[in-house]
Amino acid sequence: MSERIILTNKQARKFMLLKHGLIGSYRFSGKQGVLDFVRQAGCIQFDPIDICGKNAELVLHSRVKGFTKETLYSLLYKERTLLDYFDKNLAIMLTTDWPYFRRFREVYKTSVRSLDKVNAVSRQIRNIILEKGPVCSSDIGMNEKVDWYWNSTNLSRAALEAMYFRGELVIHHKKGTVKYYDLAENAICSEVLNASDPIEDDFEHKKWRVLRRIGGVGLLWNRASDAWLNIPELNTNERNRIFKELVDEGKITEVVVENIKDSLYCLSGDLALIDTVLKDTELKGRCEVLAPLDNMLWDRRLIRELFGFEYKWEVYIPKNQRKFGYYVLPLLYGDRFIGRVEPVCDRKEKTMALENIWYEKDIKQTGKLQKAVEDCMHRLAEFNGCSFVGCGRKLDAL
């Protein structure tokens, strides 16, 4: 059993940022850096909204030196070392993790909506793909309306998605937001595709997923949290037992942080990073924009406790109820969140404007800080194939 570690708030912040490669020199670089970060994170949440880059792209842009959108597309749809599937909601993970989610694919074989209608056309869809290759919903031509999750939809879409949920199909590629599906055996090697679940026991599987989420965030507490989303039926008693066993097995280490009531926990494999922080190693600060569903933000109450920063993604909030805006992103500088920004790309004109910037109340807007923010915006614009045209409107600190 590992002894607990005591950190100041500043040390805990630096550990989180160092773990994520968001402070000091880049820990992750190039194509291998993408794979290394995804392995560390377990998964990156996917969201299709693209104002200045999709969520997964922004996560990697902030951490991986030399990352481009084409790098991620290649790893997903050409090299297929990464895969779209469900972990913490819809996500991107290593293809080699496919066997661990077999139990979820089995559930979808009997539990999707409009099951009888989907099953009635599944073989036909499989034959169409065998004959024509990867297809999207409009290629199938099954326009009958059926009950689906958010609303009624065409049978073609429901059937393709159901076959994807249960692992018969995978996403072969995308054109914009349109998904093209292929047979799973055409995209995943048979050794991985047909492997049994490496963890057959349900409790041990939940334990593996909790450990994976702790590694994905860096520090987590044994509390109800959005970090546990899509770990089915994880109740308080089970979570307590899981944390105790992971500590007893030496897989996680207790971390006590000043002014935070609850203990936090990190992977015991991250103790070398803790040592770097305890040695007060000088780490050069960077200015980065974080994604709205960034792994480090999976528990926003924890971010509030550690960083004193309150963040809420307002994209699904009615316009007249938003405090900031539609697609507003946290802005990190050094070991602090200094505010939030609203960058918007004009794809036609190939320009990116900073519509708004809101600094936190106690942030002193020095020339050095403003230069760092401007450089960050230039990098984000370039990442999106745009030129940065400056601020549309600058707001005072709140």
Q: What pLDDT, on the 0 to 100 scale, is given for residue 397?
A: 38
As given in the structure block, the two tokens for residue 331 are 């802005």
Query: How far apart (Å, rounded) are the C-alpha atoms in residues 304 and 325?
Result: 20
As given in the structure block, the two tokens for residue 66 are 């030399």
Ordered DSSP codes for 245-273: HHHHTTSEEEEEETT-SS-EEEEGGGHHH
Query: How far apart (Å, rounded) are the C-alpha atoms in residues 270 and 276?
Result: 10
As given in the structure block, the two tokens for residue 168 are 């018969």
* 3-class DSSP string for 323-342: CCCCCCEEEEECCEEEEEEE
Query: How far apart (Å, rounded) are the C-alpha atoms in residues 53 and 21?
Result: 19
Q: What pLDDT, on the 0 to 100 scale, is given for residue 191?
A: 97
pTM: 0.95
90: helix, coil or strand? Answer: strand
Query: How far apart (Å, rounded) are the C-alpha atoms in residues 355 and 353?
Result: 6
Element (H, E) at 287: strand 287-289
Using CA atoms of 278, 284, 288, 294 in order, give the dihedral in degrees to the nearest 10: -20
DSSP 8-state code for residue 390: E
**Over the stretch 149-197, which tens digit does the pLDDT of each residue have?**
988 999 999 999 999 999 999 999 999 889 999 999 999 999 999 999 9
As given in the structure block, the two tokens for residue 195 are 């492997």
Q: Which of 61, 93, 41 lies closest to 379 in space, CA to CA? A: 61
CATH architecture for segment(s) 309-391: 3-Layer(aba) Sandwich (3.40)
Q: What pLDDT, on the 0 to 100 scale, is given for residue 159?
A: 96
- For the chain, the first-to-last Cα distance in angstroms comes to 46
**Below-70 pLDDT ranges, the chain:** 1-2, 392-398
